Structure 1
Amino acid sequence: MPGEIAVLVNPAARGGRSRGLLAPVLTRLRQGGAEVSVIMGESAADTLERACTVVAEDPAALVAFGGDGLVHLAVQAVAGTGVPLGVIPAGTGNDIAGALGVPAKNTLAAADLVLGGRVRTIDAAKIGRDEWFAGVVCCGFDSRVNERANRMTWPPGMAKYLVALAGELSSFRPIPFRLDLDGEVIEREAMLVAVGNTASYGAGMRVCPDALPDDGLLDVTILGAVPKSEFLRLFPRVYKGSHVTHPSVTVRRARRITLEAPGVTAYADGERIGPTPLTCEIVPGALRVLV
């Protein structure tokens, strides 16, 4: 891909272990004829401001070098602009990259994919008026695990989430949800509700296994109240997506979803959004991505 490529970098990705992967990626992009600049802010807000400034100058692409959290930030800058988004997965969770067919374990192959310049138009979704997401919004048990894990300093990586999961399970109780799906209201106790533009989150959990990022719809997975013993038996099935056949799981599709649940904080693409209620609405064709 000729022209300017702006590479958005998260130096803390994989606990800082991704730094050694960056230089070879930049070299590969420059050898491919691209003019490359690097964006690395002092905070998430500073990084986003810098990314928006670069996108306003209409580069050939904005490339996120990191995990789903950095992709989420990049989506805030490029959604609706026409500037293509590239992803070079270098984080703990790389689910959005996986949904786009980007190789998750080979950053140089991902860089070659960026250089190839093949653009696909996909949907994105908005939470309220200002926040975009490309992957999955989670509310309930999974978001509470995220909250607990984010307060922990040890162990590193995915192990932290497994420890948080065990800790949260000991005290968790089903949550009363109220959902409005394009006017259809569902009120029920549930373990969790996930709203997916793509299929997976949490490094491979296919919570919305049939979600497609270009069908103009959001998939909604509702795991109803089940005993903890049943939840433990059901949970491993999320990695294959076979949990959706369980009688306590309901799947719906809608363009606009409003979620209400007391004491629940929502996460989108692994990033903390805030307490419910919140409304998610699909915006067809809002993203151009390099695939």
Structure 2
Amino acid sequence: MKFLISILNLISKLPLKILYIFSDIMFFLNYYFVGYRKKVITENLKNSFPEKSDAEIAAIRKKFYRNFSDYLVETIKSFTISEIEARVRMQHINQELFQDAKTEGKNIILLAGHVFNWEWMNALATIVPQDHSYPVYRKVKSSFWEDQMKMIRNKFGNEALEAKEVILHIFRSKNEGNAAYLFVADQTPHFSHITYGLEFLNQRTPVFTGYDKLATRMDLVFIYCEMKKVKRGFYQINYHRIEPDGEKFVEHEVVKKFHKLLENTLHKRPDNYLWSHRKWKYQDAIKNFDSEKK
């Protein structure tokens, strides 16, 4: 394993213009020969965008494979990317929302989707007024890769938290505007944990509700992270505060509003999402389906 870590670090130190050559090779092999999860990707796209023709779906799928290849090499680059380069390549818009939360004395829940490249958000910790930034991660079967992903998310002063620990951590921490928690919030819950689902991209979709429960029990600031790929190697995040319709959030309001915002993002840039993810595999396990669109 030490040998593999050394190899990954050496590759990571290569300039991105060299790493993108590897990305181009991976794209060519994957798109024209391997077809990684092609059936899953095609089915997800067709179900999500029934109004699109087969030619349009094929064009989105091809762009996805290119973006996915870039995502892989950019994730490797995350091992050694400097704070300066990370901040140059990821532009953060509406940063005043973080100062607003600090002034109000409320901790922040950041909600992002699997939009490329969410792994490059780590340098946010260096520019916000909050002293503590907690990216949330999920355990994976390989302890090696879990350690590597945790290492990436701990860069720049972040304090990564495992998903099973984060809700209790938030409840036990002082809500004083000095902490920000980052959820990649469109994960698919295990079928045994599915209690709620909604309509997302024209499909019955099981969703996590942990962060939604926080909204009804604590006075927190919820912010949607809208990711945009400006050009190769450069991204932009536009932060949007999620507000309740009434005086305070009601049950499932935040989870519905987050998925609506993410849906709008994907309609604008459908090729930049992780379509290889089997997000809809547990549709039949939904016990409480909400068909109301927020």
Please give the TM-score of this superposition, normalised by the length of structure 1: 0.31
Structure having the higher strand fraction is 1
Q: Which has the higher contact order (CA 8 A, sep 6+)?
A: 2
More helix by share: 2
The two structures have a TM-score, normalised by structure 2, of 0.31
